[in-house]
Amino acid sequence: MSASDRHDQPMNDSAIPEPILQAAIAWTIRLDDPTIDDAELACFSQWLEQSDAHAQAFHLASDTWQGGEVAEVAHLLLAAGGISHLPRRPRARPHWRKGMMGLAASLLLVIGGLWQSDLPLRWQSDTWAGVGKREEVRLADGTKVLLNTQSGLAAHLSPSVRDARLTKGEAFFDVARDAGRPFVLRVGKERVRVLGTAFNVRYREGRLQVSVREGHVEVENAAGHFEHLLAGQALSIGPDGALRRLPTSASDFAWVDGRLSFENQPLREVLDELGYYYSGLIVPLDDDVLDLPVSGNYRMDDPQRVLASLAEILGIRLRNLGPWVILLG
């Protein structure tokens, strides 16, 4: 069955796997570049013929890219300072498929590096660390906080209470000791209570992990269950509220020193982690490589260099589609 035949058999947009949709977006942008060569076109043809989902995702992305709403949203982002220039598009088609506005926005967010899903969290945060950035905060009580990439913190300190909330992401806390005012950190539906200690908190995709470097902390989950952690101990709480104790590892604190540490982790997990430090999309084109094991210690301020190093070590082809899209495979 040809790609055009597949397109005649519509697939619900929500049924298209996210990695395939991201790859379709990347190919749509790349095919609009006159510098694309024959080898890349052959690679695209192979990708397109892999499945119905691949063909449907490409047609969805292509139609969206050529629709008038893309230009409209681009002009709005340009006026707001979200992007520095408008993307070039091929000639417009007369039709527009209902429900494509979300994909149009995805294309423009890749181009502009403006991830609007974070905006409400940014507004709720006193301090926010952008993509690939770290931010140091010193609270009024002397507590020092280091925010990792795409992370936010809101704090309320008074003579009687020390409350803070990690709105998103990851942070390392060196809490000033005050026996009369416990430091309470709220993360999602959970709370972390300490008097004076050093610990790391990571909150991503609804999963919380607390790792203690010094002192001890008390963690309370949404059901009111308490767990006490000492130095060298960690606790993971899943989206379902399940608690799991585990030892701390070098990777828990490596980012504090500007490093990313991986020990025999599948490439899919490594790519997920690198994605937090990169403003664009990292798109694996070959699912077979995602289970390859990765170990190493890398600088976290240059995710593109890390990807290039991994591609060389693992024997994977890497291609940059402008500054916002990296294809692997």
Task: Give the model's pLDDT for residue 1.
Answer: 45
Same domain, 104 and 179: no
Same domain, 93 and 157: no
Q: What's the number of domains the chain is made of?
A: 3
| Cβ 206 vs Cβ 185: under 8 Å | no
| Cβ 328 vs Cβ 288: under 8 Å | no
Same domain, 215 and 264: no
Residues 6 or more apart whose CB falls under 8 angstroms from that of 35 comprise none
DSSP 276-302: TT-SSEEEES-GGGGG-EEEEEEETT-
Q: Look up the CATH number of the domain holding residue 219.
A: 2.60.120.1440
Same domain, 175 and 73: no
Same domain, 271 and 238: no
Task: Give the model's pLDDT for residue 286.
Answer: 80
Q: What is the pLDDT of residues 223-251, one digit of tens each?
A: 899 999 999 999 999 988 889 999 999 89
In terms of residue numbers, what domain contains 99? 3-114
Q: State in Å, rounded, how far the first CA of the chain is from the last one.
A: 24
| Cβ 108 vs Cβ 28: under 8 Å | no
Q: Which of these three, 193, 226, 252, is where a domain ends?
A: 252
Q: What is the pLDDT of residues 52-78, one digit of tens each?
A: 888 888 888 777 666 554 555 444 444
Same domain, 280 and 191: no
Q: Which of these three, 216, 236, 252, is where a domain ends?
A: 252
Same domain, 26 and 148: no
Same domain, 87 and 200: no
Task: Give the model's pLDDT for residue 101.
Answer: 45
Task: Give the model's pLDDT for residue 83.
Answer: 41
How far apart (Å, rounded) are the C-alpha atoms in residues 305 and 318? 11
pTM: 0.69
Same domain, 160 and 246: yes
Task: Give the model's pLDDT for residue 81.
Answer: 45
- List, in sequence order, the alpha helices (H) in the chain: 3-7, 18-31, 38-48, 52-65, 68-80, 101-112, 119-124, 250-254, 267-275, 303-314
Residues 6 or more apart whose CB falls under 8 angstroms from that of 288 comprise none
Low-confidence residues of the chain: pLDDT under 50: 1-12, 69, 73-78, 80-102, 105, 111-116
Q: Which of these three, 46, 79, 114, is where a domain ends?
A: 114
The closest of 28, 24, 27 to 52, measured between CA atoms, is: 24
| Cβ 185 vs Cβ 165: under 8 Å | yes
Same domain, 155 and 224: yes
Residues 6 or more apart whose CB falls under 8 angstroms from that of 79 comprise none
Same domain, 193 and 143: yes
